Structure 1
Amino acid sequence: MKYSPGLHILAEFSSSNIGLLSKSSHCKQLFNSLITSHQLEKVGEVYHDFENGGFTAVVCLTESHISIHTWPEYELATFDVFLSNYKRDNSKKVEEIYSEVLNFFEGIERQKSAINR
Structure 2
Amino acid sequence: MNGLHLTADLAGCANEDLLTDGSGLARAIRAAAEGAGLSVVGEHWHRFPDAPDGQPGGITGMLLLAESHVALHTWPEIASVTLDVYVCNYGGDNSAKARALMATMVALFAPADAREHTLVRGRLGAEAL
The question of a shared fold, defined as TM-score above 0.5 by the shorter chain, is answered with yes
Q: CA deviation at 1:56?
A: 0.4
- Please say which of residues 5-14 and 23-32 is displaced more in the overlay: 23-32
Aligned length in residues: 114
What is the identity, as a one-letter code, of the residue corresponding to 1:115?
L
What runs of 5+ residues in structure 2 fail to find an aligned partner? 51-56, 122-129
Q: Distance in 2 between matches of 1:99 and 1:90?
A: 14
Aligned-partner Cα distance in 2 for 1:107–1:93: 21
Aligned CA RMSD, in angstroms, stands at: 1.5
Q: Contact 2:9/2:116 (CA < 8 Å) preserved in 1?
A: yes
Partner of 1:21: 19
1:62-77 alignment to 2 at 5 Å?
A: 62-77=66-81
The 5 Å alignment of 1:40-59 reads: 40-52=38-50, 53-59=57-63
The match for 1:98 is 102
Unaligned runs of 5+ in 1: none
TM-score by length of 1: 0.88
State which structure, 1 or 2, has the greater radius of gyration over its C-alpha atoms.
Answer: 2
- For 1:7, the aligned partner's letter is L
Which piece of structure 1 moves more, 85-94 or 64-73?
85-94
For residues 84 and 12 of structure 1, do their structure 2 counterparts lie closer, same or farther at Cα, with a shift above 3 Å needed? Answer: same
> Secondary structure, in 3 states, of the residue corresponding to 1:88?
coil
User: What is the one-letter code of the residue matched to 1:36?
Assistant: E
TM-score with structure 2 length normalisation?
0.80
